[in-house]
Structure 1
Amino acid sequence: MSHPHPELGPPPPLPDGGLRIVALGGLGEIGRNMTVFEFDGRLLVVDCGVLFPESDQPGVDLILPDFEYIRGRLDDIEALVLTHAHEDHIGAVPYLLRERRDIPIVGSTLTLALIESKLAEHRIQPNKFEVAEGDRVAFGPFDCEFLAVNHSIPDALAVAFHTPAGLVLHTGDFKMDQLPMDGRLTDLGGFARLGAAGIDLLMSDSTNSEVPGFVTSEREIAPVIDDVFRTADQRIIVACFASHVHRVQQVFDAAQAHGRKVALVGRSMIRNMGVARELGYLKVPGGLIVDSKEIEQLPPEKVVLISTGSQGEPMSALSRMANRDHPIRIAAGDTILLASSLVPGNETAVNKVINGLTRWGARVIHKGNALVHVSGHAAAGELLYVLNLTRPSNFIPVHGEWRHLRAHARLAALTGVPDDHIVIAEDGVVVDMVDGRIKVVGAVPCGYVYVDGASVGDITDLALKDRRLLGDEGFISIVIVVDATTGKMAAGPEIHARGSGIDSAAFDEVMPLVEKALVEAAEDGVADLQQMRRIVRRTVGRWVNETYRRRPMIIPVVVEV
């Protein structure tokens, strides 16, 4: 657990009539979105997502928000509002529900269907409360109004909280595609209506705040996908997010037009598209989808596979294909279409997969060489439009790394929001809105919670440091037996090394140094085993560093007889 701002103390009690906002994830990072609102002793939580690990977090499966701030107040939670069904907004819901299972889960039809499917794997039955754009529902003191927003997944919502402390508009993730695939536009009229009524605080998606202009319409990708299908001689393998229903629909349409059959590959892809099809969000012509085993019998020029793995995830279907560790074998002449953007930090993993696929003779088409993806997040022109439309009294940029938050704050200042009414917060920073003004009032401990296999929160930053050290430098173990009476060495030292790159014969040089150090320690009356271990570690560590300029993990084992 870490404290985000040592200079900020614990927050004071919330003043009467004030609204408190604490982000437990999603600020200064892309992922782990979770924000807690408090009014009159009651809590409302917006989103509960995960962050995916980077290369310097070996062994970690997922990173969760830190629930410690609300752990003692779970009964005060009126509801968990989910803006949409992306993993960085819903992935941690099962872990929150382990703490209190009956928290009402509020969301749109598709969002609730996908979260219910996810929770089934955890054997949790959610307490669902379905809403749609235009609905207005009170959860305790939070009078919530829901507005349609366009995003890279259907059924996304913005939410406005009407409270005695003021009106807050949280956009969720959004963009302003004027020709969306499903015809569902971002409700700019609703934004303007709320703006005219007086928005006291706007919290808006910052992901693309550094990108000028407006995002390209999703429809402009269709001709590019069609061209890929027209020019492909053999199999086509499309990799995209397992939640991108619109992108999968475009691939289905192209496959139907070019006489190809489609197979879905990857558990999450099969699950999510099954849910989307059931609810009518995905239109599938009869006979288009076949089983992945069945598709192996078809001619390559009649085949399309839609897979997960567009971010280079090590265990995804596409990564395993690139490594020849999957039943589907990449062959010369195959066309791979990576129809997604790169999540920051995944560039190396994706490039590795692209190289692996190319090695086997595949043609790889990606965002770098074709218009095969458009972002689901509003660019700077759209963000300015929303700021001008809503004219908020106060502004907090959300959902983005530091550079995105700062760029969005600059846009808000340009539209006339006073600098002292703009707060760039980090996870754990406590912001109060009192008498129509926002102010940082303190901070709460808020760190990363790591999921590693079945363990949740057991892995610490120190353990990760040890893992990195083991991966980078290897380890050396030294076993020594000492006489319990005299403290002198009775046997050893016996030295073993793995991954250090040091030949075992080289340790003949350090053995006399260890023996000498222990003899001197015994003469000085040192009999404490812990102190002996420190002496051995220091002696071997100094020798390795001076001789090889390396810093492996050194594990001394001192046994008393």
Structure 2
Amino acid sequence: MNNSQGSTPAKPAAPRAHKGYRSRRPRPKVKQPVPQNKPSVSVIPLGGVGEVGKNMTVIEYGDDIVVIDAGVKFPGEELLGIDLVIPDITYLVENVSKIRGIFLTHGHEDHIGALPFVLRQIQVPIYGTRLTLGLVKNKLTEHGLMRDAQLHEITADDIINVGSLELEFFRVNHSIPDGIGIAVRTPVGLIVHSGDFKLDQTPVDDKVLEFSKLARYGDEGVLLFICDSTNVERPGYTPSERTVGDTFRSVFAKTQSRIIIATFASNVHRIQQVINTAAEFNRKVAVVGRSMVTVVDVAQQLGYLTVPKGMLVETEEVDRLPDNQVTIITTGSQGEPMAALTRMATNNHRQIAIREGDTVIISATPIPGNEKLVARTIDNLFRIGADVVYKDVAMVHVSGHAAQQEIKLMLNLLRPKYAIPFHGEYRHQTTFSKLAQTMGIPADHIIRCNIGDRIEFNAEQGQITGSVEAGAVMVDGIGVGDVGNIVLRDRHHLAQDGVVIAVVTIDKENGTILAGPDLVSRGFVFVREAGDLLGEAKSKVREALTTRTAANTTEWSILKNLIRDTLNEYFYLKTKRRPIVLPIIMEI
């Protein structure tokens, strides 16, 4: 296939969304710009560098822009109440007429999850492989955006021409089928983006990474390699996905109880291995969890998941089957409070309850930040009497990302002039830099960049020449960008010290106190046990207000500040805590 999208007129930009909170990192000292009399290509990461998640990379040459991926990042504990974090796409909104398309490397949320929010602001073509687009369609349908979406299916054998850029794709192995890397030919040179990858010599679908294409790119000459660095700290090789299937087979062979397996919903190869093993041991399979059901349905429809006829059963049928014929595939491998396995472990699931003697396999490694949640779920399962198999006791999970020896092989095949590590935090960037130097790449040709940096390349040199507006936008419920620093600060304050509401009624004419002050405390002290504290606090407020109104001061703002200052001083003196104080004044 050889499509040309360069002449397709772009739709007008939608109104810009609220910019919201943006996290920014200190910028390195800007070097001298690349000489302007030579053609140059810019690479601008809008996410995915110095962090894991929120992947989005811009490649720009002249009047042509291609975007690789549009992902989300899941919030850490410090982002109280935030559901998702997405890239700030101000630069794309401002340059929408140049965008020739968003090209997706695979269907994980940290690569496609921001699309519903991006497409509300800019209408541009989306390119992806069959499974990736299948997952995107579900996501856009859920958000009511499918009707206007411009989706184009690609394969690893396709070449796409968009304006002055040519994009070629190559198959990679990852923890989801249909993953690709992208080679972008520009007038300046070849840029290779690895996508998320590992080198699995025995993949479940028998489709190995396309080494021949990588060798050809190396012979052609690679200007820049943008490389997945998630596992760069791990020596050796990442084990094959098939090793997990061997563990499943071992557990199934010795187990007569029900088997419940929790894994990532997107790991279709893992799900296929569960189904294959269940078929081998004459077990039925029930699928539990909204995202798991969605992925299984899509993967079956598109032919990425093969399920023997009659094997899948509804959740309601599980209790009618003998225990040694039951396998349940579920979400909740990360201990998420509302996920299916977590609710099963607390006897809070509507249909499935963990019973003594059940075997539970947690086929995943905790994402950084989720360790406590996973440990709590495992502990709850043991309390019930389940036999729990997890990463510390068996090979029940392998990563989808390349370890050091695989990254070295990629560098040897491509022999790039420059390299940028992505999909990793700063420590990953540093380790990648050291590793790449051992492969002969000069230190000043390994670019450790920040989100928003413009890295400019011509035929002779490449360096950071400036930055664009970029950062993070918070999604909270249906609000996008309406939670910023002040709201997050207040949430932290409320979580740490609570709130006290002070209500007082005054005479409109002379400011005399007619009722109150009454104090309502939430998250600060237990009223029944702190009666003396709050009683004395009321007296302090009444005394301060009486003194002020005696001086004929009835301005609300002054009285509110007086109440706030009085209570803040008193509560800190007595408790060494500073609750948020909300004064409410009513006039009669």
Is 1:309 matched up with 2:344?
Answer: no
Mapping of residues 60-79 of structure 1, within 5 Å: 60-79=82-101
Question: Which of 82, 87, 90 lines up with 2:109 in the alignment?
Answer: 87
| CA distance, structure 1, for counterparts of residue 22 and residue 134 of structure 2 | 35
Q: CA deviation at 1:10?
A: 11
Of 548-557 and 282-291, more deviation after overlay is shown by 548-557
Mapping of residues 220-231 of structure 1, within 5 Å: 220-231=243-254
| CA distance, structure 2, for counterparts of residue 445 and residue 551 of structure 1 | 36
Question: Which of 399, 405, 414 lines up with 1:375 in the alignment?
Answer: 399
Is 1:426 matched up with 2:447?
Answer: no
The secondary structure found in structure 2 opposite 1:509 is helix
Q: For residues 33-79 of structure 1, what are the alpha-carbon distances to aligned partners after superposition, in whole Å with 9 as ceiling and x for unaligned?
A: 11122111222111011111223323222221112222222232100
- Give the letter aligned to residue 33 of structure 1: N
The secondary structure found in structure 2 opposite 1:430 is strand
Aligned residues: 560
Matched residue, 1:343:
367
Question: Which of 11, 18, 24 lines up with 1:4 in the alignment?
Answer: 24
Matched residue, 1:324:
347
Indicate how the Cα distance of structure 1 residues 40 and 228 shifts in structure 2: closer, same or farther if over 3 A, else same.
same
The secondary structure found in structure 2 opposite 1:45 is strand
Contact 1:261 1:288 in 2 (8 A): yes
Tell me the TM-score normalised to structure 2 length. 0.90
Matched residue, 2:498:
474
Q: CA deviation at 1:191?
A: 1.4
Matched residue, 1:411:
435
Mapping of residues 354-369 of structure 1, within 5 Å: 354-369=378-393
Matched residue, 2:296:
273
| CA distance, structure 1, for counterparts of residue 34 and residue 155 of structure 2 | 35
The secondary structure found in structure 2 opposite 1:200 is strand
Of 55-64 and 238-247, more deviation after overlay is shown by 55-64
Question: Which of 41, 44, 54 lines up with 2:63 in the alignment?
Answer: 41
Contact 2:34 2:458 in 1 (8 A): no
Mapping of residues 159-558 of structure 1, within 5 Å: 159-326=182-349, 327-487=351-511, 489-503=513-527, 504-505=530-531, 506-522=533-549, 527-558=554-585
Contact 2:261 2:328 in 1 (8 A): yes
Is 1:108 matched up with 2:129?
Answer: yes
Q: CA deviation at 1:184?
A: 1.2
Q: CA deviation at 1:13?
A: 11
Matched residue, 1:132:
155
Of 511-520 and 235-244, more deviation after overlay is shown by 511-520
Matched residue, 1:32:
54
Q: CA deviation at 1:288?
A: 1.2
| CA distance, structure 2, for counterparts of residue 8 and residue 373 of structure 1 | 38
Q: For residues 436-456 of structure 1, what are the alpha-carbon distances to aligned partners after superposition, in whole Å with 9 as ceiling and x for unaligned?
A: 422122233333222222222
Indicate how the Cα distance of structure 1 residues 252 and 5 shifts in structure 2: closer, same or farther if over 3 A, else same.
closer
- Give the letter aligned to residue 226 of structure 1: R
Q: CA deviation at 1:351?
A: 1.2
After superposition, the CA RMSD in angstroms is 2.2
Q: For residues 389-437 of structure 1, what are the alpha-carbon distances to aligned partners after superposition, in whole Å with 9 as ceiling and x for unaligned?
A: 2111111100012211211121112212222222111222222223442
Aligned identity (percent) is 40
Q: CA deviation at 1:90?
A: 0.6
Indicate how the Cα distance of structure 1 residues 162 and 481 shifts in structure 2: closer, same or farther if over 3 A, else same.
same
Indicate how the Cα distance of structure 1 residues 533 and 434 shifts in structure 2: closer, same or farther if over 3 A, else same.
farther
Of 445-454 and 111-120, more deviation after overlay is shown by 445-454
Matched residue, 2:17:
none
| CA distance, structure 1, for counterparts of residue 526 and residue 290 of structure 2 | 43
| CA distance, structure 2, for counterparts of residue 36 and residue 289 of structure 1 | 42
| CA distance, structure 1, for counterparts of residue 559 and residue 430 of structure 2 | 52
The secondary structure found in structure 1 opposite 2:231 is coil
Q: CA deviation at 1:522?
A: 4.7
Matched residue, 2:10:
none
Tell me the TM-score normalised to structure 1 length. 0.95
The secondary structure found in structure 2 opposite 1:57 is coil
| CA distance, structure 2, for counterparts of residue 124 and residue 53 of structure 1 | 24
Matched residue, 1:158:
181
Contact 2:34 2:456 in 1 (8 A): no
Q: CA deviation at 1:239?
A: 0.6
The secondary structure found in structure 1 opposite 2:88 is coil
Contact 2:34 2:463 in 1 (8 A): no
Q: CA deviation at 1:520?
A: 4.8
Q: CA deviation at 1:319?
A: 1.4
- Give the letter aligned to residue 109 of structure 2: E
The secondary structure found in structure 2 opposite 1:321 is helix
| CA distance, structure 1, for counterparts of residue 40 and residue 553 of structure 2 | 61
| CA distance, structure 2, for counterparts of residue 3 and residue 298 of structure 1 | 52
| CA distance, structure 1, for counterparts of residue 39 and residue 369 of structure 2 | 42
Matched residue, 1:119:
140
| CA distance, structure 2, for counterparts of residue 18 and residue 467 of structure 1 | 45
Q: For residues 488-545 of structure 1, what are the alpha-carbon distances to aligned partners after superposition, in whole Å with 9 as ceiling and x for unaligned?
A: 5443211110121243512112223223433454567754422332232222122222
- Give the letter aligned to residue 120 of structure 1: T
Contact 2:34 2:457 in 1 (8 A): no
Q: CA deviation at 1:242?
A: 0.8
Q: CA deviation at 1:2?
A: 3.0
| CA distance, structure 2, for counterparts of residue 349 and residue 488 of structure 1 | 54
The secondary structure found in structure 2 opposite 1:555 is strand
Contact 2:34 2:461 in 1 (8 A): no
The secondary structure found in structure 1 opposite 2:424 is coil
| CA distance, structure 2, for counterparts of residue 526 and residue 431 of structure 1 | 60
The secondary structure found in structure 1 opposite 2:312 is coil
The secondary structure found in structure 1 opposite 2:249 is helix
Q: CA deviation at 1:305?
A: 0.5
Q: CA deviation at 1:17?
A: 2.2
The secondary structure found in structure 1 opposite 2:214 is helix
Indicate how the Cα distance of structure 1 residues 210 and 531 shifts in structure 2: closer, same or farther if over 3 A, else same.
farther
Contact 1:8 1:443 in 2 (8 A): no
| CA distance, structure 2, for counterparts of residue 526 and residue 17 of structure 1 | 70
Contact 1:394 1:437 in 2 (8 A): no
Indicate how the Cα distance of structure 1 residues 370 and 41 shifts in structure 2: closer, same or farther if over 3 A, else same.
same
Matched residue, 1:50:
72
Of 368-377 and 353-362, more deviation after overlay is shown by 353-362
| CA distance, structure 2, for counterparts of residue 244 and residue 220 of structure 1 | 15
- Give the letter aligned to residue 585 of structure 2: V
Question: Which of 129, 134, 141 lines up with 2:164 in the alignment?
Answer: 141
Contact 1:177 1:217 in 2 (8 A): yes
